[in-house]
Amino acid sequence: MSAKSPDVDFDASLAPEESWDVDVVVVGAGFAGMYMLHRLRELGYSVQVFEGGTDVGGTWYWNRYPGARCDVESLEYCYSFDEELQQEWEWTERYSSQPEILAYANHVADRFDLRRDIRFGTRVDAAAFDEKKNLWVVRTSDGAQTVGRFFVMATGCLSSAATPEISGREKFTGAVVHTGRWPQEGVDLKGKRVAVIGTGSSGVQAIPVIAEQCDELIVFQRTPQYSIPARNAPLTDDRQLDVKSRYEEFREANFAMPQALGSEIPNYNDSVHDASDEQRRKRLEGAWDRGGTLFLASFGDLLLDESANVYAQDFVREKIAEIVQDPKTASKLTPEHIIGCKRLVIDTDYFETFNRSNVHLVDVGSDPIQRITESGLSTLSKEFEFDVLVFATGFDAMTGSILRVDITGRDGLAIQEKWSEGPRTYLGLSVPGFPNMFTVSGPGSPSVLTNMIISIEQHVEWISDCIAWLDERQYVTIEATSEAEENWVDHVNTKADRTLFPSCNSWYLGANVPGKTRVFMPLLGFPGYVRRCDQVAENNYEGFVIQ
């Protein structure tokens, strides 16, 4: 196996003999780290959480760009573990805005007194497993070292912002921001010429709001995007009271859904091929009018069969042509790829924004960006000038925030080496060679294909129950076997290969990061996954070596 990562300049033998600072070291104080801390504390464990930001919230702390909003409905995108918490918090809109979600995260931190065990403004740089003492030694950006029996990466799936290497970036004299690292103090766009590179979910949400704030907006689009109206609206008291009167039942129904959400939105299993033109149109129009990501649940085979998918593609293409007034702009905005294989985007007035006179669309798919200049950027054929450059270019998803920590397991094995051919886990929770380390919503788990908060809760509860189970029996280590990992990776791939998901360049596959191995990282299907995790625990953690 590989040698230790060259960046690790400390070694785990620095761990004091048979003593540790805390039971569990947790990395990240987003929704995963916060609940991990709370649950472990309830079980009587000592925990130290490290967080690079200055406060809680994780992805919602960093993604403060104009228009940032959740694409899961607010009554679902919140913790379910505490009945009083879910009753007392009042959501104001169908889909919550970033400020409201961040306020909720702060409320949770206050309510459960979480901050006293979180060291903010502190990144974990490295972590190494001491095989003799069975302890994790964790080194942080403040130069300190913390020793724990267990090590949990609660670092989020979309936390490592990706900025493309474009030559000349350092020459640009205006402001440069990334949507995933938006400054806390905001960016004054009034009277400015703004450029946005990227039209994924972040770009699609930001563009309409930026267009209203700035003088002139240039959108540099490499791949056109399918987007469905969100139909965001104020949340009525009636709806909120209704759900709160039966929250448990509402949650149970959502847990049973493939994505752990949307139980009250029609999900159909029939084939689009069996519907008449009129039926098809009616169903898709209904989903378009209702809004939201479950547009693709209008028929059972839209994500399984390319010839079925075409109906949904054509439907959205027609909508774009209806909304966008200038036919040339409409044509540039019209996607050709399979709908849904890149994550489906939901928007508020995205296509409508291109009817504004201060918004210009540049197709950098056909006329690629060459370099950034002092005053803007140049494509192959043209120069553009602007004052603010916004990168809405996404994330090194699912693995980026794990791989940027120098994690060293048994025999000096570095996680970067272990995952050099793509991430490999057992259950998305555990990696052979890295005993007593867990990943919350790691690659190989349903994570980004579900309501993340619900997936996080399931992982946190599984991990904390596992730690308690080990301690009750006085076991010291747990480690996934290579055989279990092999079977699990096959299982994840087999499920993905039955669908259209692997058929285009998406961040699900790591295709957005140059040089990243192309592997479909999340697992499809929440209920089956939960059953499997429960079964593993019931069978005394089968697939793991326990000592």
Binding positions for ligand N01, rule: CB under 6 A: 69-71, 158, 164, 179, 197-203, 205, 220, 222-223, 343, 364, 369, 392-395, 448, 507, 512
Residue type at 85? L
Backbone phi, then psi, for 199, in 5-degree steps? Answer: -135, 45
CB closer to ligand N01 out of 384 and 469: 384
Task: Please state the three-class secondary structure of 324-362 as a single string.
Answer: CCCHHHHHHCCCCCCCCCCCCEEECCHHHHCCCCCEEEE
Instruction: Give the distance, in angstroms, between the CA of residue 436 and the centroid of all CA atoms in the same chain.
Output: 24
CB closer to ligand N01 out of 203 and 443: 203
CB closer to ligand N01 out of 221 and 408: 221
Residue 222 has, within 13 A of its CA and on its CB side, a CA count of 14
* Minimum distance, C-beta of residue 202 to ligand N01, in the bound complex (Å): 3
- C-alpha angle 201/206/212, rounded to 5°? 150
CB closer to ligand N01 out of 118 and 346: 346
* Minimum distance, C-beta of residue 464 to ligand N01, in the bound complex (Å): 26
* Minimum distance, C-beta of residue 130 to ligand N01, in the bound complex (Å): 36
CB closer to ligand N01 out of 246 and 371: 371
Contacts by 536-542, CB closer than 8 A, 24 or more apart: 536/427, 537/462, 537/465, 537/466, 537/469, 541/466, 541/469, 541/478, 542/484
Task: Please state the three-class secondary structure of 105-119 as a single string.
Answer: HHHHHHHCCCHHHEE
* Minimum distance, C-beta of residue 162 to ligand N01, in the bound complex (Å): 7
* Minimum distance, C-beta of residue 158 to ligand N01, in the bound complex (Å): 5
| Nearest-angstrom CA–CA distance, 32 and 55 | 14
- What is the sign of the dihedral through the CA atoms of 120, 137, 133 and 485? positive
CB closer to ligand N01 out of 408 and 445: 445
* Minimum distance, C-beta of residue 484 to ligand N01, in the bound complex (Å): 28
- Strand 544-546 relative to strand 478-480, pairing: antiparallel
* Minimum distance, C-beta of residue 117 to ligand N01, in the bound complex (Å): 28
* Minimum distance, C-beta of residue 172 to ligand N01, in the bound complex (Å): 15
| Nearest-angstrom CA–CA distance, 466 and 471 | 9
* Nearest CA-CA partner of 50 in 108, 107, 120, 99: 120
Phi-psi region at 541: left, alpha or beta (left = phi > 0; alpha = psi -120 to 50): left
CB closer to ligand N01 out of 202 and 430: 202
CB closer to ligand N01 out of 67 and 433: 67
